[in-house]
Amino acid sequence: MADEFELNAELRTDMGKGASRRLRRNAGLVPGIVYGAGKDPVSISISQNALHKSCENEAFFAHIITLVIDGKSENAIVKALQRHPANDHIMHADFLRIQMDQEIHVDIPLHFVGEEDCVGVKQDDGMISHVMSSLQVSCLPGDLPEYIEVDVRELHLGSSLHMSDLVLPEGVVIPELTQGDDHDQVVVSCVTTRATIEEDLVEGTEEDEESEESEESEESEGEDDADSEEPSED
């Protein structure tokens, strides 16, 4: 992994909602918790600015982070972030301690490549529909990828790539697939564009109108023939 993330934190002893609000408002700090690896959970506070800056990098969410808590380092991953509903401020952060010999479950971002060269896009005027933007994987911390690449070049119109179609790094598995074939969810599809659908609808409407006009013309001709065949009165 190219990126390295280190966050400085302090132990937090003042608990409760009121204390958390004071941290965020007066000190520019984010309350958080660190747990896991068979150790007791500890409450911490982290700089809002430092945490927000780290969050701007996608790799932060799929990376081993060094938490320096009162001078002592621990390896962890981001488990959850709680944000303010009206803005981008981080309200609370959860970190999971890791041990290098124990598997972890992490949501990894998906990077889609080859969209412009996709068969269904170039030949059939289709468009790529991203059904998923991330995927939960299981692996040892040392095998944790920053992202999973999804190549859509050979995707035809109306076809899809499922979880089982993805090429995973060595040592990385998708836990969902162990639950059966019905859990093999769609990741990305090549679908018909809205413009193509509208064109088809217009063409269908025009064909229907032409058909109706033809039927009306035939009916009119039939009526004319019938009138011409009526016997004249002597």
CATH number at residue 87: 2.40.240.10
Torsion angle, CA of 142/143/147/148, rounded to 10 degrees? Answer: 180
Q: Is residue 218 part of a domain?
A: no
pLDDT value at 13 more than 90: no
Amino acid at 83: R
| Count of the separate structural domains present in the chain | 2
Q: What is the structure's pLDDT at 1?
A: 46
Token output for 102? 């124990």
Task: Name the pTM for this structure.
Answer: 0.74
How much is the average pLDDT of 9-37? Answer: 76
111 and 26 in one domain?
A: no
As a whole number of angstroms, the distance between CA 154 and CA 5 comes to 36
Whether residues 142 and 81 share a domain: the answer is: no
Residues 187 and 115 in one domain: yes
- Residue 53 predicted with pLDDT over 90: yes
- Mean pLDDT, all residues of the chain: 84
Q: 93 and 110, same structural domain?
A: no
Give the pLDDT score at 193.
83
pLDDT score recorded for residue 211: 55
The domain in which residue 79 lies consists of: 5-99
CATH for 124: 2.170.120.20
Return the higher-pLDDT residue of 197 and 158: 158
Same structural domain, 33 and 79: yes
Q: pLDDT digits over 134-160, tens only? A: 999 999 999 999 999 999 999 999 999
Q: Are residues 40 and 67 in the same domain?
A: yes
